[in-house]
Structure formats: structure tokens, C-alpha cells
Amino acid sequence: MVATPAHLRRSATALGNEEVLRIRNDFPILQQHVNGKPLIYLDSGATSQNPLSVLEAEQEFYEQRNSAVHRGAHHLAVEATEAFENARETVADFVGAEWDELIWTSNATEGLNLLTYSFLNASLPGAAPEAARFALAPGDELVVTEMEHHANLIPWQELAARTGAVVKFIPIDDAGALDMDAAAGIIGPRTRVLAFTHASNVLGTINPVPALVALARSAGALVVLDACQSAPHLPLDVKALDVDFAVFSGHKMLAPTGIGALYGRSELLNAMPPFLTGGSMITTVTMERAGFLPSPQRFEAGTQRISQAVALAAAVNYLSETGMDRIHAWEAELGQRLVQGLESIPGIRVLGPAAGQERIGLAAFDVAGVHAHDVGQFLDSRGIAVRVGHHCAQPLHRRLGLTATTRASTYLYNTTDDVDAFLNAAADVRAYFQA
């Protein structure tokens, strides 16, 4: 019997403020003052902060092991390769994948572009026979949702424009939930790919993955999961969810920028044409042609982001040791506190599920008569960091009749005091701007 990975064990108890205060000691950046006030960082949905163990892992790599991987017989090359591949195994394990199903990318955006360019290559004349299952033809349909981040929309638009395929989308209702009746009508025999976000970066909703996967399976479509807002915040098991591909970004889960991953089912990855080609991804090369290695090297041309991969592994170790179910439970509490507090402020409209409904630890909102940029500036003057703008989701904002909103997003290092300080400041915004 295989032991359940630590991060998937149910231990129901959420983190508490006392524990969070200890966690905060691991994050040097959170100790500072901004505009004369203690920094309150509520922008982890955009990028998260790094604990010392992550910073030290990257430094240790450069001080002790730095070398190119998968080449060279010298001591450092062996050490670096081992660190790099151990990191892959750690991160793969964190999301329930096998080591050879996890491909390093710069971020989730690159992961999605890797997929769409691979599918494009599969659609071109001369593609290998095993790639035919990914080839797109005019009339084929790529289905996304109305709540997607631009990263999970534009690559599909571009793929459609080059192949004659059509992008269709599942609409949302006014509360920000996917219209599953509509989804059942949209996903059909012509659907080749269903790509959707696990948790919305604007609405905070967690989408019904099993129901969507079931629709895709009955249509014979591939399933692509954008796990940017789920992998950092809740226990994620790509095998249990039965998705074909998933992407996430390291910088949203305590790691540095420049590292992310694409998960793909092994048999699919090994049939897909490469995206980037060059060194390290080949078997035999002649002046005329080259053979390609299986996954993951197949998709890792050129010298890789080695220290960042090592740092991402340190980040997921930090998350696993804290407990993903406990982080999830804590952030669910913070998310409810955010929504309840914001809903009680006159003139503020919260996007997405109402208080009491499931959401991750974030809330985007509109302040009547005050532009989001001004809201963000006002909060900054109180030392509070939030995101303002369209959050890379223009179609979603248009659907909700807005151009820009303000978003507060939590992580494992936020206390209820952080949320309350934010709510107090948010309550003063309209008076300041005489709205």
C-alpha cells in the first residue's frame, strides 16, 4: 500500500493566528514598513513571498552545486543533476504526478504556450503520425470559460486563428459560477480541448472539475487545467482530478520568478511534437534531422532553470510541512472574513460568490464612485498591498460591467489582523475621495 502524501492527508484543523505569526518570521520581506506602516501584503494572488528556506536553497545551490545538468562527468555536474531531478520528483509528488510527467517551464503562461504550440506543430504538414491526435482542423472547437486569465485564453485564440479551429466559451452567471447547463450544450463531438481554471483569480470560485472533466471525456476532448490559483492554496492531485494537463507558476507558491511547471499524462507528452528544440532534448542528430527524447527532456531544450527548480522544490517542501489542507482551511476562513467585511461596507460590490459560499482566500471588489487605481493608492498609503486593474481578465470584467477592480488575496502568512486592517482602510476609501 502506498502512503498518502503528507499534503493530502486530512487534518481538518486550519492554521491559526499564533501559528501564522510564527510562519511570518520565516519571511524577511514581511518585516518591513511601507509608508510608515507595517506592510500588510494582500497580493499573493499576483506573486507570493519567499521564506528563508527557499532563498537559502537557491543560494546553497549556487555556493555548492552549480553546474550544467545532464552532461559532464565531473562532481558538480552530478550534484547539480541530482538536485535538479530530485526537485522535479518533489514538485511532481506535490501535485500527484510521476516525475516524467512534470516539465519545467518559466511559468504557467509558458506551459500553456508549450501546449498550444505543440498542438499547432501537430497540425502542420509533416507532423509525426503519433501527433495526429493533437492535430486541429477547421471547425474543431477549443472550449474555455468566460472567467479565464488571458494566459488561458489568448494562446487558444492564436492556435484557433492558425488552424481554423474555433474558440467557444462557457458563460458565467451573475454570481460568477460557470453555467453548467450551457457547458453541457457547448461541449460536444467537435470539442477537442477543454481548458479552464481550477480557481478564478478574480472571483475566487473553485470550479467543479469532476463535472467538467466528465463532459470533456464524453466528448473525447483533452482537459487542460489552469492550476495557478489552486496549486499554491489547496491540496492538488492531478491524477485524482483526472485532467490531461495542468499548469502552475512557482512565484505564486513561495518560489522565485522564472520557474513553473506543466503536468501532462505520460502517453500524451510522449506523442506530442516538441515546442522548443535544440540541445539536451535529442537522441541522434544528423545534419538533416534529429530524434527526440521522451518526456520530460523532450520539452526541455537548452540549459534549464536549475536553481529556480531547486528553489521551487524547497517551496513545496515548506508548503507540505505546513500542510496544504490546513493552509486551504485557513485561507477559506480569511476569504470569508474578507467577503463578509467588504459586503458590510456601503458602496462596495464584491465579485463572485456571496459570503457563506465556497471561495479561496481572495476577493475582488468595486467601490462605487472610486476607480480601482485610486483605491489601491489609498490602501498603499496605509501600508496595504493589493492588486488593481483587470487582473488579466478583461472579458470577465466586461461581462460584469466593469473595467477595473481591486483585489485582496491572502496566503499562509496572513493573519485575521491583516484582513481587519484592510477592511478598516477599505471602509474609509469613499469618504477620502468624496464619493
Partner 1 sequence: MSLDQLYQQIILEHAKARHGSGLASATVPEDASSGQSHQLNPTCGDEITVRVSVAGGKVSELRWDGDGCSISMASASVLTELAEGMSVGELRTVIDSFREVLRSRGKVPADPEVLGDAAAFEGVSRYAARVKCAMLSWVAAEDALGQALAA
- Element holding 428 (H helix, E strand): helix 416-432
Tell me the torsion sign for CA atoms 47, 48, 49, 53. Answer: negative
How far is 320 from 80, CA to CA, in rounded Å?
Answer: 23
Q: Which amino acid is at 31?
A: Q
270-297 as b/e, with b when 16 or more CB fall inside 10 Å?
bbbbbbeeeebbbeeeeeeeeebbebbb
DSSP SS3 for 180: helix
How far is 61 from 66, CA to CA, in rounded Å?
Answer: 6
How far is 37 from 24, CA to CA, in rounded Å?
Answer: 17
| C-beta closer to partner 1: residue 350 or 372 | 372
Shortest Å distance, C-beta 366 to partner 1: 13
Q: What are phi and psi of 125, to 5 degrees?
A: -60, 140
Shortest Å distance, C-beta 419 to partner 1: 22
Q: Grid coordinates representing 378?
A: 489609498
| C-beta closer to partner 1: residue 250 or 383 | 383
Shortest Å distance, C-beta 232 to partner 1: 24
Is the separation of the CB atoms in 173 and 352 below 8 Å? no
DSSP SS3 for 37: strand
How far is 81 from 71, CA to CA, in rounded Å?
Answer: 8
The closest alpha carbon to 41, from 396, 357, 424, 417, belongs to 417
Shortest Å distance, C-beta 113 to partner 1: 20
Q: What angle do CA 89, 91, 94 make, to 5 degrees?
A: 110
53 CB burial (10 A radius; 0-12, 13-18, 19+): middle
Shortest Å distance, C-beta 380 to partner 1: 8
Residue 392 is a catalytic residue: yes
- Identified catalytic residue from 203, 224, 392, 429: 392
| C-beta closer to partner 1: residue 46 or 282 | 46
| C-beta closer to partner 1: residue 394 or 416 | 394
| C-beta closer to partner 1: residue 109 or 317 | 109
Tell me the torsion sign for CA atoms 247, 249, 255, 256. Answer: positive
167, β-bridge pairs: 142
Q: How many CB atoms lie within 10 A of CB 1?
A: 3
| C-beta closer to partner 1: residue 83 or 425 | 425
How far is 392 from 397, CA to CA, in rounded Å?
Answer: 9
> What is the distance of C-alpha 124 from the center of its chain?
30
Is the separation of the CB atoms in 229 and 360 below 8 Å? yes
Query: Applying CB under 8 A, which residues contact partner 1?
Result: 370-374, 377-378, 381, 388-390, 394, 397, 403-404, 432-434
Shortest Å distance, C-beta 100 to partner 1: 39
15 CB burial (10 A radius; 0-12, 13-18, 19+): buried
| C-beta closer to partner 1: residue 164 or 369 | 369
| C-beta closer to partner 1: residue 282 or 404 | 404
Write out the catalytic residue numbers: 392
